[in-house]
Amino acid sequence: MRHVVTLVIGLLVGAILAITALRTLNARKDAYPEALMNVMKHELVAANEAATKPACNENAHALDKLTLLTGDILTAMPDEGAPDRVFHQYVSNLHDKAIAASQSDCTQRKQALTEIKHACDDCHRDYR
Ligand code: HEC
């Protein structure tokens, strides 16, 4: 009986310590970068959906937001790669592609959106 009680107490203490450790680790992780990326993904999906409709410029709003959010990448991840030139280059490349897409006409819209996707992938390949 004593062993069972010891075992149960041991398990309880272990569980409490594990939960405390997890909480501490989660609190330390900054939610901003992931949140920003997920919103950008959402806007890109919205823009792609709109591009399949005849009036492809319904996605102007999504592309404007994407352009604005791109400007936040450096705020959200200031030390990513100890802010180096390449990271900045990827950010400005994405920014240019987002502007180009918002100014493209309907026949070029899908291609412009594909180029945005490539600009996302370029940075993820090196930094994610
Ligand atoms: C300049 C670099 C850069 C660009 C450009 C970039 N990303 Fe990211 N992305 C990252 C990094 C770094 C991470 C990893 C962040 C982390 O785990 O904290 C990431 C993670 C993500 C994630 C996963 C987030 C999560 O929940 O873990 C998504 C989704 C994402 N990016 C979408 C996009 C989309 C869509 C674009 C283009 C519109 C884009 N990203 C452009 C650097 C970039």
| Residues 9-23 pLDDT 10s | 677 767 766 766 667
Under 8 Å CB-to-CB from 97, ≥6 apart: which residues? 112, 115, 116, 118, 119
DSSP code, position 72: T
Determine the CATH number of domain 32-127. Answer: 1.20.120
Rounded to the nearest whole angstrom, what is the distance from the C-alpha of residue 87 to the centroid of ligand 1? Answer: 12
Around 21, how many Cα atoms within 13 Å sit in the side-chain half-sphere?
A: 6
Q: Which band of pLDDT confidence, cut at 50, 70 and 90, is reported for residue 42?
A: very high
Rounded to the nearest whole angstrom, what is the distance from the C-alpha of residue 37 to the centroid of ligand 1? Answer: 5
Mean pLDDT for 86-114 is 93
Q: Which atom of ligand 1 is nearest to the CA of 98?
A: 38
Task: Tell me the best of 28, 66, 77, 120 to mutate to test the pocket of ligand 1, counting ligand atoms within 8 Å of each CB and taking the most.
Answer: 120
Rounded to the nearest whole angstrom, what is the distance from the C-alpha of residue 34 to the centroid of ligand 1? Answer: 7
- Each domain of the chain, given as residue ranges in start order, spans 1-30, 32-127
Reported pTM = 0.81
Mean pLDDT for 56-75 is 87
Cα separation, 60 vs 24, in Å, equals: 41
